[in-house]
Structure 1
Amino acid sequence: MDFLTNLHDAVTGWIFEYLLQPALYEAGLMDFADEVFTWLDFALFGALSMIVVYIVCRPLEAWRPVEPVTDRRAIRTDILYTALSRLGVLPLLAFVLLSSLQAWWEATVADSGFVPPTLETLVPGLREMPILAFALYVVILDFGEYWRHRLQHTFGWWWALHSIHHAQRQMTFWTDDRNHILDEVIAALWFGAIALLIGVPPGQFPILVMIMRLAESLSHANVRLSFGRIGERLIVSPRFHRLHHGVLSTADHGKNYAVLLPVWDWIFGTADFRRDVFPRTGDPDAPEALATGGWLRQQAVGLKRMAGAIFGRTA
């Protein structure tokens, strides 16, 4: 992990020093150098995660697709979602807000003299077992993601945003990032806050994010793939998650909410382990714009529906 972190820092530093900084200087925009460097750091990590996801998922979709591609425009819209989410300013905005909250929290804790517990302070032996500690971080963060996903289907205003994700009828691995901006920010704050509370080391955080994103992208892939009777109960497969998208018709019921570990669905009674079932995807209750509209149109409709859910109006 130290090697990967150092390599990432070296590449980021080189691009900024030899490409972006001279351009900022010529344009008289050096006052924004820190912001540009932070964006570059996010953009490079996002580009790397997109490359990894494509290398893993694209061959699988070509190998055994569940359904033929009939709507390439919808897929292009999802690619735009992915680019904006992983290369654009959306994750940066969430990061800036979270960093501000973290600074306030650390200052408050320092003034009070209280030292908040982390996994490694609660279980000191984990300091000598970094692999086990990393695995526990994954399990705890995945548990948090399970409940965030369930709450997205529970509250009307949140479902109004999340329904953009479920409206896709041509689901592919690009669909993972098909989310409303507000939903993206909430998700980033949720995930980051849990990571801070359990004391995830900064150097390990990007690796955790990449693992979760790869798992989510694979689970959305248009591939006829299950992991068998035992494997399906260990790791979320494309078949397992496709049932979540396929059986869903309204915001108040559904199955298979887990992101990485199906055990949470099994424990809380939301698991559907039927094998060799690959239903068509989409939300028949969603407005047509959420299924076939462009990015901007879907964002606007999502906001309108959220306002309708909050103020009791039909949107």
Structure 2
Amino acid sequence: MEILSDLFSGTQQWLFETLVQPLLFHLGLGSILEDAYDGTMWLLLGVLQLAIMLAVFAPLQRWRPAEKVIDRAAVRLDILYTAIHSLGLFRLVLFFTTQPLADHLFGQLHVLGFSAYHVDEIWPGVTDRAWVSLIIYLLIFDFVDYAFHRAEHRYRWLWALHAVHHSQRQMTMWSDNRNHLLSDLLRDLVVVLVSHLIGVPPGQFVAVVVITRLVESLSHANLRVGFGRVGQYLLVGPRFHRHHHAIAPAPVADAPEANYNFGVLFPFWDVLFRTARFDGNYGPTGISDQLPERGARDYGRGFFVQQWLGIKRLIGRS
């Protein structure tokens, strides 16, 4: 692990000094060098994520697909969404939006005497061990994702945006990032605020993000694979999450679908709050009102159209 860490750090340093830093000086943006260095890290992590998806998840999808891919244009659009998130473009948006807001808020709170509650200090000698604290952070952020995801299916204004994600009829490993950008901004704002509240070390936060991204990509994969009678309770897999994306059996006008299986990493929260269903199959995915017999509602075929229709649904114009 130390060798891999050193290799990653060396690559980040080389990329930054060779390409990023000279470009910033040329553009007169030397004041953001520190943030740009972090941005280089997120870019490399995105490239690493894509490499793992292509090397591991893609062959698995070809080996045991849950369904035949017939709409390759929809899949290509999901690849675009993934590139926007994984190659730093969305991270750049966060740099100019949620991060400055969070820094200002917690800067003011710090002046008033507020300090973060470091959960890794709960039990000195135990919770401050790297692997123990990582598990704790994974559980905390997974609960945050569970709660936010459940809210997206409960409140119509959040569902208006989240419907972009569920409207994919051809779900693959690329579908995880198919979201409305405003929805992603809201979710990341919550995550940033929580990370400040519990004082997550930067290295642990990066590990949480990487693990979450990979598990989400796997759980969305077009893959007919289960984790077994015990494993299905330990990690969210393609079968568990595909059931969440299944078309609802009965139409309910403008209502969020699939009120179960909200977990991102662990089914634990679904089991605890009685929203878990392990009886799903590998049936068709999407939203019920997309079906011809239920109105054939249009959710858009292109990136900008999907984003615009999401806004129109949000304000009640679509």
Instruction: Structure 1: give runs of 5+ residues left out of the alignment.
Output: 309-313
Q: How far did residue 202 of structure 1 move? A: 0.5
Equivalent residue runs for 1:190-201 within 5 Å: 190-201=190-201
Residue of 284, 301, 315 corresponding to 1:307: 315
1:225 aligns with 2:225: yes
1:111 aligns with 2:116: no
Residue of 271, 281, 284 corresponding to 2:285: 281
Equivalence for 1:265: 270
C-alpha separation in 2, matches of 1:283 and 1:31: 45
Given that 2:225 and 2:239 are in contact with CA atoms closer than 8 Å, whether structure 1 keeps it comes out as yes
Deviates more, 1:280-289 or 1:144-153: 280-289
User: Which digits, 9 at most, give the CA deviation of each residue in 1:35-64, with x for residues without a partner?
Assistant: 655543332221112212332311110111
C-alpha separation in 2, matches of 1:129 and 1:37: 27
Q: How far did residue 171 of structure 1 move? A: 0.4
Equivalence for 2:293: none
C-alpha separation in 1, matches of 2:40 and 2:121: 34
Secondary structure of the structure 1 residue equivalent to 2:224: coil
Equivalence for 1:298: 306
Q: How far did residue 6 of structure 1 move? A: 4.7
Q: How far did residue 97 of structure 1 move? A: 3.3
AA partner of residue 186 (structure 1): L
User: Which digits, 9 at most, give the CA deviation of each residue in 1:269-303, with x for residues without a partner?
Assistant: 1111116x11111113256542x511111111111
**Which structure is higher in helix share?**
1
Equivalent residue runs for 1:74-89 within 5 Å: 74-89=74-89
The change in CA–CA distance for 1:247 and 1:123 in structure 2 (over 3 A counts) is: farther
Given that 1:119 and 1:199 are in contact with CA atoms closer than 8 Å, whether structure 2 keeps it comes out as yes
The change in CA–CA distance for 1:187 and 1:5 in structure 2 (over 3 A counts) is: farther
- Normalising by structure 2, we get a TM-score of 0.87
Given that 2:246 and 2:258 are in contact with CA atoms closer than 8 Å, whether structure 1 keeps it comes out as no
Equivalence for 1:311: none
Secondary structure of the structure 2 residue equivalent to 1:203: helix
User: Which digits, 9 at most, give the CA deviation of each residue in 1:54-111, with x for residues without a partner?
Assistant: 3231111011101111011000000000001111422222244343234334433432
Residue of 28, 31, 42 corresponding to 1:30: 28
Instruction: Structure 2: give runs of 5+ residues left out of the alignment.
Output: 291-295
- Normalising by structure 1, we get a TM-score of 0.88
Given that 2:82 and 2:177 are in contact with CA atoms closer than 8 Å, whether structure 1 keeps it comes out as yes
C-alpha separation in 2, matches of 1:103 and 1:70: 46
User: Which digits, 9 at most, give the CA deviation of each residue in 1:104-127, with x for residues without a partner?
Assistant: 344334323343322123333335
Equivalence for 2:209: 209
AA partner of residue 215 (structure 1): V
Q: How far did residue 9 of structure 1 move? A: 3.7
Q: How far did residue 240 of structure 1 move? A: 0.5
Given that 1:164 and 1:298 are in contact with CA atoms closer than 8 Å, whether structure 2 keeps it comes out as yes
Report the aligned-residue RMSD: 2.3
The change in CA–CA distance for 1:96 and 1:124 in structure 2 (over 3 A counts) is: farther
Given that 1:245 and 1:281 are in contact with CA atoms closer than 8 Å, whether structure 2 keeps it comes out as yes
C-alpha separation in 2, matches of 1:13 and 1:198: 29
AA partner of residue 193 (structure 1): L
Secondary structure of the structure 2 residue equivalent to 1:124: coil
Over the matched positions of the two proteins, sequence identity in percent amounts to 40
